[in-house]
């Protein structure tokens, strides 16, 4: 569990000799920050088992290929130097076994662009039987009407609702009851495995659709355009709710004045006193009930969400209120659905009759499984949030005990610097762990100073070789273009607003282009007030692309180092159809 990282130790996994290439692509959206010891110790092995089960479900990898690899070795995903990584090699091998596929298809689905270590073919990569199983799996995927999975996902939602009802009330629970609520591994394993299986099918169906568009129409980017305006995408739902809250504020001079004074601890008190404030606060309370589990780093219980830190959501409302009606996400979705339907009809007319049926089924599958992917993720996050609330209450109580016992350095979050095996002793005597927690906090700070390599093969480079997060890049010049991948069609122009923290977007004004390092669902409400979105990393299955397509915001992803090369305030143009970002004018 504990690995040497730099001059210290941190939790982590072993790398695989058989499947040696790892990437932050896709994993960085889910776990952007340093993994906490507690979360790792609880979930790492369970997550790896779920990963392996999902991989085996496709038939593209055989059980014998994984059975001899220890569960502590990351064949699906792992943690290296404190950061989450996806095993790219096993995805490449799987993609290469899909009939008509190639290893690089995995790079397109999960990475976008970049310069990953090359895939080194091995004799055992070729597996005729796995190819046949893969063909059967692909055929089943594109012919599956999704009714069975829809029912399974609905059952999972009901199971999570019951799980949350059965949890002890936070205020009245004993420390022992809170301790037992840290995470239900059986439930988490089931939900996570479901999410991974759905994600693999979503990625596979998107790959098949992209290959069809490339081979039949010489336009692989067409696949992304055809998936615009799906509707019923769970990750986009908070944006719609926040938009409604923003309209309430914009319509009230008193609420507007309350927000004009800033998103601070007094905002809710000012809102309560304003005309229309009661209705707004009731609506905001309902928003927290519905979406309070979302937030930055929502998969790790150590981090705040919209419910535990409402100012994160109020900051988003603050940006929404300044935006005009043309950005209404519901209207944008209706427009995109209409355009997508017209594009589909035009595309089918260009295809020969024998291909038309296969194309229609594949497109339907890609749309359906993209929706399923976001739903399964939302369900997992809600379950994790139930444990978060109990864990945070336990942490608060034990910090108070530690402070009373003379541990002056005790602070919020101490609980997550321990591993599960230490929890019982910590609950009994929090002050006894003061030195251990201080040492781990120091190591965490060192890891957090640096950006982990986006790729590595075999062994992660030493910590000293990682780039400091404060490192700069040569800035772009006027007239220069940066090339990424198309996320959502459309061309928009505006001032670049570089935002590195979704909880502090106050520089983002109407007419600006949001430039972000990566985006999980907590970022996506910021898409609504923006004219366009540019993201450092991302691929066709990233949340930035899925949600931008749903909200109708021109988007370019995988624009390498955009947040470091594009200066804040530069006038830029984003072509979401090509992924090209053009710098029109530098700031004064």
Q: Confidence band (pLDDT; 50, 70, 90) for 113?
A: low
Characterize 2-16 residue by residue with b for buried, 16 or more Cβ atoms within 10 angstroms of its Cβ, and e for exposed: ebebeebebbbbebb
Q: How confident is the model at residue 104 (pLDDT cuts 50, 70, 90)?
A: confident
Check residue 339 and give its pLDDT: 87
* Helix extents (H) in 351-405: 353-404
Are 495 and 511 within 8 A, CB to CB? yes
Q: Enumerate residues 6+ apart whose C-beta is below 8 A from 203.
A: 109, 110, 541
Q: Say whether pLDDT at 348 is over 70.
A: yes
Domain ranges of the chain: 1-125+429-468, 236-330, 481-585
Contact 521, 238 (CB under 8 A): yes
Nearest residue to 502 via CA among 309, 245, 259, 312: 312
- Specify the range with the lowest mean pLDDT, choosing from 66-75, 230-239, 406-415, 577-586: 230-239
Residue 330 has pLDDT above 70, yes or no: yes
Query: What b/e string do you get for 159-186 counting C-beta neighbours within 10 Å, with b at 16 or more?
Result: ebeebeeebeebeebeeeebbebbbbee
Burial label for 194, CB within 10 Å (0-12, 13-18, 19+), is buried
Assess whether pLDDT exceeds 70 at residue 114. no
* Helices and strands, counts by H and E, the chain: 21, 16
Please report the pLDDT score of residue 1 as a whole number: 85
pLDDT at position 297 is 87
The average pLDDT across 186-215 equals 89
Q: Residue 223 pLDDT more than 80?
A: yes
Judged by average pLDDT, the poorest of 436-440, 542-546, 574-578 is 542-546
The fold of the 481-585 domain, in CATH, is Glucose Oxidase; domain 1 (3.50.30)
Predicted confidence at residue 408, as pLDDT, reads 84
The answer to whether 485 and 557 have CB atoms below 8 angstroms apart is yes
Q: Can you say whether the dihedral through the CA atoms of 552, 558, 562, 564 is positive or negative?
A: positive
Query: How many Å apart are CA 312 and CA 319, to the nearest integer?
Result: 12
How big is the CA angle at 47 (ends 287 and 387), to the nearest 5 degrees? 40
Examine the pLDDT at 303 and tell me if it is beyond 80. Answer: yes
What pLDDT, on the 0 to 100 scale, is given for residue 486? Answer: 86
List, in sequence order, the alpha helices (H) in 144-184: 147-166, 175-180
> Per-residue pLDDT averaged across 468-486, rounded?
89
Of residues 459 and 101, the one with the higher pLDDT is: 459
CA dist., res. 288 & res. 283, Å (int): 9
Is residue 27 within 8 A of residue 74, CB to CB? The reply is no
3-state secondary structure of 84: strand
| β pairing state of 450-451 and 532-535 | unpaired
Across residues 528-544, what is the average pLDDT?
83
User: What's the whole-number mean pLDDT along residues 302-331?
Assistant: 92
| C-alpha distance across the termini of the chain, in Å | 51
Determine how many CB atoms are found less than 10 A away from the CB of residue 156: 21
The two three-digit tokens of residue 144, written as one number: 């599956």
pLDDT band (50, 70, 90) for residue 206: confident
Q: Using one digit for the tens of pLDDT, what is the confidence trace for 30-49?
A: 888 999 999 999 989 999 99
From the list 382, 30, 49, 389, the residue with the least C-alpha distance to 189 is 49
Lowest-pLDDT choice from 95-104, 294-303, 387-396: 95-104
| pLDDT (mean) for 317-346 | 89
- Are the C-beta atoms of 497 and 72 separated by less than 8 Å? no
List, for residues 54-74, the tens digit of each pLDDT value.
Answer: 999 999 999 999 999 999 999
Q: What is the 3-state secondary structure (H, E, C) of 496-544?
A: EEECCCCCCCCCCCCCEEEEECCCCCCCHHHHCCCCEEEECCCCCCCHH
pLDDT of residue 110: 67
Average pLDDT, the chain: 90
pLDDT the model gives residue 276: 86
**If you ran DSSP here, which 8-state letter would residue 172 be given?**
T
Q: Is the pLDDT of residue 271 over 70?
A: yes
Q: Which range (22-36, 139-153, 288-302) has the least confidence?
A: 22-36
Q: What's the confidence (pLDDT) of residue 112?
A: 63
């Amino acid at each position: 569990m504990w690995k040497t990282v730099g001059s210290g130790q941190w939790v982590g996994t072993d790398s695989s000799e058989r499947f040696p290439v790892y990437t932050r692509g896709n994993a960085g959206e889910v776990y952007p920050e340093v993994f906490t010891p507690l979360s790792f110790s609880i979930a790492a092995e369970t997550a790896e088992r779920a990963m392996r089960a999902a991989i085996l479900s496709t038939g593209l990898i055989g059980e014998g290929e994984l059975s001899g690899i220890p569960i502590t070795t990351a064949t699906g995903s792992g943690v290296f130097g404190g950061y989450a990584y996806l095993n790219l090699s096993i995805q490449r091998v799987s993609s290469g076994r899909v009939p008509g596929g190639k290893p690089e298809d995995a790079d397109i689905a999960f990475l976008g662009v970049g310069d990953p270590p090359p895939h080194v073919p091995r004799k055992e990569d070729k597996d005729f039987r796995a190819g046949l199983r893969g063909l059967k799996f692909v055929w089943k995927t594109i012919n599956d009407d999704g009714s069975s999975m829809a029912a399974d996902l609905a059952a999972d939602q009901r199971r999570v609702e019951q799980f949350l009802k059965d949890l002890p009330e936070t205020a009245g629970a004993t420390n022992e009851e809170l301790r037992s609520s840290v995470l239900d591994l059986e439930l988490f394993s089931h939900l996570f495995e479901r999410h991974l299986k759905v994600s693999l099918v979503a990625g596979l169906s998107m790959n098949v659709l992209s290959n069809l568009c490339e081979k039949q129409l010489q336009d692989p980017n067409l696949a992304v355009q055809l998936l615009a305006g799906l509707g019923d995408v769970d990750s986009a739902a908070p944006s719609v709710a926040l938009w409604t809250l923003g309209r309430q504020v914009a319509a009230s001079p008193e609420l507007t004045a309350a927000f004009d004074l800033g998103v601070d601890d007094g905002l809710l008190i000012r809102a309560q006193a304003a005309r229309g404030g009661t209705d707004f606060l009731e609506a905001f309370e309902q928003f927290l009930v519905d979406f309070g589990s979302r937030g930055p780093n929502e998969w790790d219980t150590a981090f705040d969400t919209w419910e535990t830190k409402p100012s994160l959501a109020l900051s988003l409302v603050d940006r929404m209120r300044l935006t005009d009606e043309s950005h209404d996400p519901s209207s944008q979705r209706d427009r995109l659905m209409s355009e997508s339907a017209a594009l589909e009809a035009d595309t089918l007319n260009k295809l020969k009759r024998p291909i038309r049926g296969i194309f229609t089924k594949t497109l339907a599958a890609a749309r359906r499984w993209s929706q399923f992917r976001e739903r399964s993720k939302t369900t997992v996050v809600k379950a994790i949030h139930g444990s978060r609330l109990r864990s945070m209450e336990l942490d608060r109580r034990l910090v108070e005990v530690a402070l009373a016992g003379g541990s002056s350095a005790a602070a919020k979050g101490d609980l997550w610097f321990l591993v599960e095996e230490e929890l019982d002793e910590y609950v009994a005597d929090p002050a006894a762990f003061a030195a251990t927690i201080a040492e781990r906090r120091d190591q965490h700070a060192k890891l957090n100073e640096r950006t982990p390599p986006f790729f590595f093969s075999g062994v992660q480079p030493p910590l000293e070789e990682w780039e400091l997060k404060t490192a700069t890049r040569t800035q772009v010049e006027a007239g220069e273009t940066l090339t990424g991948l198309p996320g959502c069609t459309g061309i928009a122009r505006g001032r670049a607003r570089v935002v590195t923290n979704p909880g502090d977007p106050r520089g983002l004004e109407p007419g600006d282009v949001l430039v972000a390092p990566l985006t999980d669902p907590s970022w996506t409400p910021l898409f609504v007030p923006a004219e366009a979105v540019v993201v450092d990393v991302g691929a066709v299955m990233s949340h930035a692309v899925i949600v931008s397509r749903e909200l109708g915001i021109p988007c370019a992803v995988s624009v390498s180092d955009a947040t470091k090369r594009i200066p804040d305030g530069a006038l830029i143009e984003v072509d979401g159809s090509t992924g090209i970002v053009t710098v029109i004018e530098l700031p004064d």
